[in-house]
Chains A and B, each alone.
Chain A
Amino acid sequence: MNEPILAVGSVEQGTSLWKDAWIRLRRNRLALFGLVLLVSFVILALLTPWIAPYAYDDQNLDLGASPPSAAHWLGTDIFGRDLLTQILYGGRISLAVGFVATSVALLIGVTWGAVAGYVGGRVDAVMMRLVDILYALPFMIFIVLLMVVFGRNLLLLFLAIGAVEWLTMARIMRGQVQTLRQQEFVEAAISLGLSPVTIIWRHLVPNALGPIIVYTTLTIPSVMLLEAFLSFLGLGVQPPQTSWGLLISYGAETMEEYPWLLIFPGMALTLTLFALNFLGDGLRDALDVRGSTD
């Protein structure tokens, strides 16, 4: 086999894993569509106080539940509140929960799992037993306890959900790292004199990103639904504040009489989930350098 030695000078310009991934992602239409959709949702959520047609606690009891009309594009709920306004404000909470709680889960889970998997031995055993114990702990009790001790606080709720969701992430990461750790490139890194922290972040985490990204895109919606469930129980957001999850659960109660109360919040959530899945798949492919390059 020939190994051609080409002329000096034809050096391509600098790229990194992330730049390459971005180039590949841009070529994936579906993923790009997901990204655009998500970004526009986030922008809408940020701008809500200025663009919402009504105030979120504006009631019109005389009007009651009305179907979509010129004054209320998506209709109103039984208290005569504008549904579009509700969805916009609800999106703020839902997206915030989704991203904050998932980031918390990602940060703790990936770090925890990577350290356990890399160090191994007794440290691994202790760390993973702790995960097992937390798994076994009924998480409702955990969150109720937090709420009782610290009072009801939205940020705390985000953190609490994140603190529950990281367990699976840690297990996935540990499994990945354990397999990767056997490979010679890790030994090579050790013998170059790299510190364990560098080895974990530069050599192990990037190679484990595929499954982690997929699991992350699954975590965001499940976190949003968890918030709805907690709010429904009176532990999360309370009216007149609202979230997509809450809107959906109220909408489900009155589904037969006022279907739009379920359909529109449901669409908001579904669209977000679609966007996340497209983006997640796209990211996974984009980060796999073995996929089609150049």
Chain B
Amino acid sequence: MALLSVNGLKVDFTTRNGVTHAVDDVSFSVEKGEITAIIGESGSGKSVACYSLLGLLPMPPASIEGGSAEFEGRDLLRMSEAELRQVRGRDIAMIFQDPMTCLNPYMTIGNQLVEPLLCHRRISREEARQRAIELLDEVGLRDPQTTIDQYPHQFSGGMRQRVMIAMALINEPKLLIADEPTTALDVTIQAQILRLLADLQKRRDVGVIFISHDLAVVADIADSIVVMEQGRVVERGDRQAIFERAEHPYTRKLLAAIPGGSKAPSASTGEDLVQVRNLCTWFSQGKHHESVKAVDDVSFGIRRGEILGLVGESGSGKSTIGRSLLRLVPVTSGEVLFDGVDVTALEGKALKQMRRRMQMIFQDPYASLNPRMTVFDTLAEPLLLHGIESRKSVEQGVLKLMDDVGLARAFIRKYPHEFSGGQRQRIAIGRALATRPEFVIADEPVSALDVTIQAQILELMLALGQEYGLTMLFVSHDLAVVRHIADRIIVLYKGRIVEEGLAEQLFEHPKEDYTRQLLESIPGRQLL
């Protein structure tokens, strides 16, 4: 018998604009000792379905309209709040997406770990602490005897996620719900966490629901896969069936969205548009500390018309390089030659002129647009500033940009919050292209987006790159994405260049161990 079997679950959201069927007749089951993956884009109802099982949805606006969820012979949906509290944390535990916000910054991790133990079991504080230490050891935290008394900010993101996992496991739950547990993490860390989850699940024989927007992530670990679209289950099956014989067009679309292969080499001519020589960007930590060498003696060139991929984990200095080129952070030493002119020495008018020729697309489309400016204002600003359009013709210019980036003209007076993440990124791309730049730095432009949207935006960038004749620096932690878009790739580690080469070459024949390690971390790499 299945550990959990959900039948005909229906969840509605009632808002001022009417009723939304967030989850509509969804059924799935989770077996003991198996990983069931629920896959779908944001808004597909995958998280809502799982949260409703544990009574974690705010009601109202949410309401459960029907269905049942049998867990060990009892229906979760018909339990009282008090009964549910007994189940939550003891029999069913959750791991959330963002390990940064899910731990209380004012409590040591030890105290946070023993809390659920003390709450659900008769156990002394000393015993609880002992259990916590064992568990931290099991999830791979080094030296748990001492780290147990540290605060969350003293851990890296990956380590925090391990702590979260330990916290979820401490009461030996029978079912674990993991909601995008690796989305906020680097590829290498993601690979470690995935391996850890798969390991723990086998060893402890628990059932796992793994929620993700990315099929590739679950390609190595899931036993069965449920694909959701707009509140409904469109396809289900075991892993092989989904990856090899997917039938539903939506599943195929998801599979196709996994970035794979590499593009045809672009028409880059020989000369370098950008030359970076011995670039150092150090951040001072006050007088008594050594500076953080975010970028340490990096030299490279970017040919005209080329897309250069810059790859590394967080802390590798990849974003700082991009920001240094645009003078958004002060450069410590070195030169950045743009078309023969040293950008680091420019001031005033000359700098403004140069900025017109180099633009940036930012990572987070939710933060990179001024929330109080309409699409028109956002796009008109650079056009007017650089005298590309006059006051009279600016509307035409804005509409042209919107056409180029694939935004409906009717949206011109809308504000950023009225758009989805992908549409916002289109606005941001339009803004960067408004000044008719020759060189664009894209700083993780798709990492905040769902895979299907990610694929659309990448296509758009490639097409616009051609149309506008752009040279591009594409910064990302995601190797699969970079391979898809870049001609050449530079691998960074701790502020230094580890390896540099043509995209295909680097993937097929990596020279350095670190590159190899990165390549092995790509989820579902056998799909590529």
Interface residues of A (CB under 8 A from B): 1, 3-6, 8-17, 183-185, 187-194, 202-203, 206-207, 287, 289-290, 292-293
Contact = CB atoms under 8 A, between A and B. Distances in A.
B406 A1 contact: no
Given A1-B43, A4-B408, A184-B362, 10 more contacts: A1-B422, A3-B423, A6-B408, A11-B410, A184-B368, A192-B385, A193-B355, A193-B382, A194-B385, A293-B415
Contacts of A289: 371-372, 415, 417
Contact of A15 (B351, B409, B413): B413
Contacts of B358: 191
Contacts of A12: 410, 412-413
B373 interface: yes
Nearest to B386: A193
B374 interface: yes
Interface string B355-388: 1101110111001111111101100011001100
A8 B41 CA distance: 29
A192 B369 CA distance: 13
B355 A191 contact: yes
Contacts of B435: 192-193
A190 B386 contact: no
Nearest to B355: A193
Closest A-B pairs by Cβ, 5 of them: A184-B368, A193-B355, A6-B408, A193-B352, A184-B362
B166 to A, nearest CB: 32
Contact of A5 (B323, B328, B364, B406): B406
Nearest to B372: A206
B499 interface: no
B452 A1 contact: yes
B428 interface: yes
B458 to A, nearest CB: 15
Contacts of B373: 17, 202-203
Nearest to B353: A193
Given A12-B413, A17-B373, A194 B359 contact: no
A17 B377 CA distance: 10
Interface of B: 16, 41, 43, 323, 326, 328, 351-353, 355-356, 358-360, 362-364, 367-374, 376-377, 381-382, 385-386, 399, 406-410, 412-413, 415, 417-418, 420, 422-423, 426, 428, 431, 435, 450, 452-453, 456
B371 A16 contact: no
Contact of A191 (B41, B326, B372, B374): B326
B410 A16 contact: no
B367 A184 contact: yes
Contact of A207 (B371, B385, B409, B410): B371
A293 B418 contact: yes
A8 B409 contact: yes
A14 B43 CA distance: 31
B408 to A, nearest CB: 4
Given A1-B41, A3-B420, A8-B409, A207 B370 contact: yes
A6 B402 CA distance: 11
Contacts of B351: 193
A147 to B, nearest CB: 42
Contacts of B43: 1
A192 B430 CA distance: 12
Contacts of B407: 3, 5
Contacts of B431: 188, 192
A188 B360 contact: yes
Contacts of B360: 187-188, 191
A162 to B, nearest CB: 27
Given A1-B420, A192-B385, A192-B431, A187 B410 contact: no
B428 to A, nearest CB: 7
Given A1-B453, A193-B386, A184 B363 contact: yes
Nearest to A12: B413
Contacts of B422: 1, 3
Contacts of A191: 326, 328, 355, 358-360
A55 B431 CA distance: 63
B320 to A, nearest CB: 13
Contacts of A287: 372
Contacts of A290: 371, 415, 417
Contacts of B362: 184, 187-188
Contacts of B374: 15
Given A16-B377, A192-B382, A5 B372 contact: no
